[in-house]
Amino acid sequence: MKVYTTDKIRNVVLLGHGGSGKTTLAEAMAFLSGAVSRPGKVEDGSTISDCDKEEIRRQISISTSIVPVEWTDFKINVLDTPGFFDFEGEVNEAMSVADGAIIVVSGKAGVEAGTERAWDLCEKYHLPRIFFITDMDIDSVSYRQVLDDLNAMFGKKIAPFNMPLREDEKLAGYINVIQKKAFRYQGDEAIEEDVPEYSMEYMNQYNDSLMEAVAETSEEFLDRYLSGDTFSEAEIRAAVRSAISDGSIIPVESGSGLMQRGVYTLLDDIVKYMPSADNRQMSGINTQTNEIFEANFDILKPKTAFVFKTIADPFIGYYSLIKIRSGVVKADDIMYDVRTTIEFKIGKLYVLRGNKAHEVPELHAGDLGALAKQTSIKTGDTLSTKSNPVMYAKMELPVPYTYLRWKPVRKSDVDKIAMAMAKIAAEDQTFRFERDSANRQSLIYGMGDLHLEIIQSKLLNEYKAEITVDRPKVAFRETIRKNSDAEYKYKKQTGGHGQYGHVKIKFSPSGTNDPYVFDEEVVGGAVPRNFFPAVEKGIASSCEKGPLAGFPVVGVHATLYDGSFHSVDSSENSFKTATEQCFKKGFMEAGPVLMEPFVTLKVTVPDSYIGDVIGDLNKRRGSVMGMTPANGKQIIEAEVPQMELFGYCTVLRSMTGGRGDFSYEFSRYEQAPGDIQAKVIADYQAQLASGEGDD
């Protein structure tokens, strides 16, 4: 692949609901541009984009793929993104480097939740966009209905650029709304002809709405429009290009990705109307001077690049995908990673097309490429030169809230699983794995049930590491509500020195969130001072795993007030052991209770779903605190027991058709209801009786 200058590069992201046809459209673009000799099919697992084994098996996109195509002396970097919400992190990575978007809408399914999310993302990232309505080869599909739905959803910005021409229940061609001309498909060509009479009414209607949108781009055009003047095609296209860039006009095009119809026109319009990177602003911070570095994709400025994605390759190791944000990066250049302060030689420079790497000598500002075998580089890093150390803001990624407890099927695989999870986490920034030491469990976090299911499948099929998953233990806490006075004498005689420790301790609620408060009121040297630290150690270790249900203890005030010792047999260990036994006894006599964690939950939904969401939260023992309007939706804030949120992601998506989002953070601990306490304690006792240990 040849080298392209910044003005000849277009970076466009394909967005849309899962199954809307993004991958098929990307394949059609690759075929028409000559990047592939024949178009692949999702059903056959032969597409460029979906090259991962899980993608082929499930016939869905799981990660973002780059499909660069060359079109009329331009390079279009097509970023094919997943449509399922579980892979939202992949979409955000693509959005961070895109300069324009194609929102794909299935004519069969119409405007869906994924369409709305795609629009919201474009608004957030200020990206110009084009709607492409696909499935026009299906006769039952109504282009007009989808267009009406887009108008109702997104307003008068929607401007159809073409409309399908159907004859004998087939897609016969298209009508160019700007030119008011029809084009009939004949083989690979589109032959111009007169617009059929039955299409004139809608064509004129669409042309009028487009001209009205063009007129509003300037006062001069508005005056001419109101006086009855017409615009030339050149004037229309110039005005449209500017209006698309600022988001005041959103073109709508149509066709069939499967039949490669309408895609030729779409590629032309991406080149004509989508901005190159040098039309966008980009700034970072020079970490040496603390001054703002205005990169703005200027090739004359010092070279900088942003790492927006990492791909684990079984043969190469890691590919670090980059976007050049200033200057020209060449093979064998020396670059500097600001995060690690490591200077390194690039070696070979690549352009990826799916999972195939093509070597290139250099990449200009605005282009997308890849570095290989740079193990110290991570997603979100900034690469620059040591003399001009620049750092760009990291991309904003969604937080994973769905989590499961996991165990290895074979204990010997623990190290293998840890290494495999580290590789998956390097690729997927929304996957997390961690050890919950307080509850002695290992957890994996993801964006939803499907996400975590695929993680398990990857571990098994790619890394031969099998795990089982279960509902995670909730982080309960144990505390006391009453006072108690306990005594324990630990006495053990062995062949040599024996063991002796005797303590009397008062227990009471401390009123704090700390595990314990320790005091001593020993008089007369009943317990020597040198054993006080051992007593405190016994209390501290007892608080790690409470006697009620095995959860950490909080809010206990322990006062050592008496005891006895043996001049020979007493030791630190004997007093620690005596204290641990005394703690168990005293704790259970002081009105022990379980405290459950509450979270502050924020649910963002359209107004029409408020009643359903609040009703569901009430069933989950939640208390709604209030609502706040934001961007045409409502943010419902509530306090909910954390244990009631298991599986909430799936329920919310089902309840709102995928239009609801949520986030939460820990709020406080509160005493759990009696029935819940009884069940948790019974489960713990059953676990002890069965001899089942912790992870």
Range of the domain at 86: 8-279
- Residue type for position 57: R
Say whether both 275 and 287 belong to one domain: no
Say whether both 599 and 563 belong to one domain: no
The confidence score (pLDDT) of residue 569 equals: 86
319-323, 443-447, 482-486, 526-530, range with the lowest pLDDT: 526-530
Looking at the predicted structure, is the pLDDT value of residue 496 above 80? no
Mean pLDDT of 500-511: 95
Say whether both 189 and 318 belong to one domain: no
The confidence score (pLDDT) of residue 373 equals: 86
Helix H or strand E encompassing 642: none
The span from the CA of 52 to the CA of 320, in Å, is 17
The span from the CA of 551 to the CA of 543, in Å, is 8
Give tens-digit pLDDT for 111-141: 999 999 999 999 999 999 999 999 999 988 9
The CATH number that applies at residue 295 is 2.40.30.10
Domain-terminating residue out of 537, 559, 590: 590
Number of structural domains in the chain: 5
Q: Which residues contact 689 (CB under 8 A, 6 or more apart)?
A: none
Total residue length of the chain: 695
Say whether both 506 and 630 belong to one domain: no
Residue 604 within any structural domain of the chain:
yes
| DSSP sequence for 324-380 | EEESEEETT-EEEETTTTEEEE--SEEEEETTEEEEESEEETT-EEEEES-TT--TT
Find tokens 């409502």 and name the residue. Answer: 634
Pairing type for strands 334-337 and 65-71 reads unpaired
Give tens-digit pLDDT for 332-355: 999 999 999 999 999 999 999 998
Answer yes or no: are the C-beta atoms of 531 and 575 closer than 8 Å.
Answer: yes
Looking at the predicted structure, is the pLDDT value of residue 217 above 80? yes
Say whether both 435 and 300 belong to one domain: no
Tell me the three state secondary structure of residue 438.
coil
Residue 686 within any structural domain of the chain:
no
Domain-terminating residue out of 590, 623, 643: 590
Looking at the predicted structure, is the pLDDT value of residue 514 above 90? yes
Say whether both 137 and 69 belong to one domain: yes
The confidence score (pLDDT) of residue 495 equals: 63
The CATH number that applies at residue 464 is 3.30.70.870
Token readout for 47 is 């597409």
Q: 3-state DSSP: the chain helix, strand, coil percent, rounded to 5? A: 30, 35, 35
Residue 3 within any structural domain of the chain:
no
Say whether both 339 and 265 belong to one domain: no
Give tens-digit pLDDT for 155-189: 888 999 999 998 888 899 999 999 999 999 998 88
The confidence score (pLDDT) of residue 427 equals: 94
Residue 105 within any structural domain of the chain:
yes
Q: Which residues contact 42 (CB under 8 A, 6 or more apart)?
A: 23, 24, 50, 59
Residue 689 within any structural domain of the chain:
no
The confidence score (pLDDT) of residue 119 equals: 96
Q: Which residues contact 406 (CB under 8 A, 6 or more apart)?
A: 442, 443, 444, 467, 468, 469, 470
The span from the CA of 356 to the CA of 14, in Å, is 20
The confidence score (pLDDT) of residue 139 equals: 86
The span from the CA of 653 to the CA of 447, in Å, is 12
Say whether both 214 and 139 belong to one domain: yes
* Of residues 587, 586, 572, the one with CA closest to residue 504: 586
Q: Where does the pLDDT of residue 692 fall: very low under 50, low under 70, confident under 90, or very high at 90 and above?
A: low
The CATH number that applies at residue 251 is 3.40.50.300
- Residue type for position 375: T
Token readout for 543 is 């608080």
Answer yes or no: are the C-beta atoms of 612 and 636 closer than 8 Å.
Answer: no
- Give the other-Cβ count within 10 Å of 568's Cβ: 9
* Of residues 440, 641, 670, the one with CA closest to residue 555: 670
Give tens-digit pLDDT for 459-469: 999 999 999 99
The CATH number that applies at residue 644 is 3.30.70.240
Token readout for 516 is 């314990």
The span from the CA of 258 to the CA of 20, in Å, is 12
Residue 695 within any structural domain of the chain:
no
Domain-terminating residue out of 548, 573, 590: 590
The confidence score (pLDDT) of residue 176 equals: 94
The span from the CA of 537 to the CA of 516, in Å, is 11
Start-to-end CA span in the chain (Å) = 52
Q: Which residues contact 168 (CB under 8 A, 6 or more apart)?
A: none
Pairing type for strands 304-313 and 162-167 reads unpaired
Say whether both 387 and 432 belong to one domain: no
Residue 694 within any structural domain of the chain:
no
Say whether both 234 and 297 belong to one domain: no
Helices 532-544, 572-588: inter-axial angle, 10-degree rounding: 50
Sheet holding 484-492, edge to edge: 484-492, 499-509, 556-564, 516-520
Say whether both 67 and 191 belong to one domain: yes
The span from the CA of 669 to the CA of 76, in Å, is 53
Q: Where does the pLDDT of residue 383 fall: very low under 50, low under 70, confident under 90, or very high at 90 and above?
A: very high
Say whether both 119 and 242 belong to one domain: yes
The span from the CA of 504 to the CA of 282, in Å, is 68
Residue 412 within any structural domain of the chain:
yes
**What are the CA-CA distances from residue 607 to residues 118, 123, 645, 687 (Å)?**
19, 20, 22, 45
